[in-house]
Amino acid sequence: MSTKHHRFDANQIDLNGKTILVTGGTGSFGRAFIRKILGAYDVNRCIVFSRDELKQYQMAQEFPAAPGRPIRYFIGDVRDGERLEMAMRGVDYVVHAAAMKHVPTAEYNPFEFVKTNINGAENVVMAAIRSGVKKVIALSTDKAANPINLYGATKLASDKIFVAGNNLSGAGGCNFSVVRYGNVIGSSGSVIPFFQKLIDDGASELPITDERMTRFWITLEQGVAFVLSCLEMMQGGEIFVPKITSMRVTDMALCMAPDLPHKNVGIRAGEKLHEVMISEDDARSTVELADRYAILAPFLEARNQAYVKMGASPMAGDFRYASDTNTAWLEAEELRRMIADL
């Protein structure tokens, strides 16, 4: 079964007059998110928190601070809890997008990934609680479900930290939730820009890790809209998973370069053939809505009742949301349109 990519409703949340901080704000998601909220809302302030001064300088050329554009650039690292706490003063909402993400790099530099992805998550939680932030939503990855690589393991630990943050903040305190989705089409480090560069450079073949490999795919626009819709819906403690499409990597390569042969180069260390976003064990705590799933925290039963009122349906115990058994598949024509839009 094929389907069009779903367009999530990002228009229900009212960010007018609010102050929003985005960790990792100079990344692909952060730039798209900030472009959206500056264009759609009359926010009080939008704070870009990141550690790379060059990327902040480059971003400031596109989004300069000016009258009517209340954007602020804050140099800092999520490894530094005190700096985070200083940046979060007066902030209403935090979107946590900062992370180290490269799978092979994680296998050789595990301590660095732990410091950023796990210790950084703890720092965000504690700084948000101490600063009186109302809501925090953290970006995760399909690799956090049943992880086999260190990157996925650190993101699973991060997810658990944010869910548990709801116990630390107490009744009436900051709410923490997680968004988990698949590969972002066109983001830095993804396979599409990699293939495109090879094609532009006149490659005679495209490297394929395994012809059976499948992946979930989402656009930056979809990701931003999904995060905004989750920010409005969240009760605290959920892991939100969007209903999105899958595609075989070989089909993606054929779509981009129909005349180029493929060279099987083998799976890299820590890679899976197929990605899972909801495992059978998580299914027991998962409910389904029209355009997404929500993995609920069993210890937050009162908050979970909100999903009953929304008409959410519990999933069967043997449910599994994986890229190879997904019923929604990305068509070649739609992928070509998405690439053209980039």
Q: How many CA atoms lie within 13 A of 80 on its CB side?
A: 14
| Long-range CB contacts for residues 317-322, cutoff 8 Å, separation at least 24 | 317/280, 317/283, 317/284, 318/280, 318/283, 319/278, 319/280, 319/283, 319/286, 320/276, 320/278, 320/279, 320/280, 320/283, 321/241, 321/276, 321/277, 321/278, 321/293, 322/274, 322/275, 322/276, 322/277
For helices 220-233 and 28-40, angle between their N-to-C axes, nearest 10 degrees: 60
CA distance 275 to 293: 16
Q: Report CA 124 to chain centroid distance, whole Å.
A: 16
Is 143 considered catalytic here?
yes
The 3-state DSSP class for residue 28 equals: helix
Buried b (16+ CB within 10 A) or exposed e, 15-44: beebbbbbbbbbbbbbbbbbebbbeebebe
134: CB partners within 8 A, 6+ apart: 92, 93, 174, 175
Which residue out of 143, 155, 243, 272 is catalytically annotated?
A: 143
The 3-state DSSP class for residue 218 equals: strand
Of 137, 86, 92, 138, give the one whose Cα is nearest residue 117. Answer: 138
Residue 124 vs residues 80, 233, 234: alpha-carbon distances, Å = 9, 21, 18
CA distance 129 to 319: 35
Of 106, 168, 189, 98, give the one whose Cα is nearest residue 140. Answer: 98
The 3-state DSSP class for residue 327 equals: coil
**Contact in structure between 164 and 155 (CB atoms under 8 Å):** no
Query: What amino acid positions are annotated as catalytic residues?
Result: 143
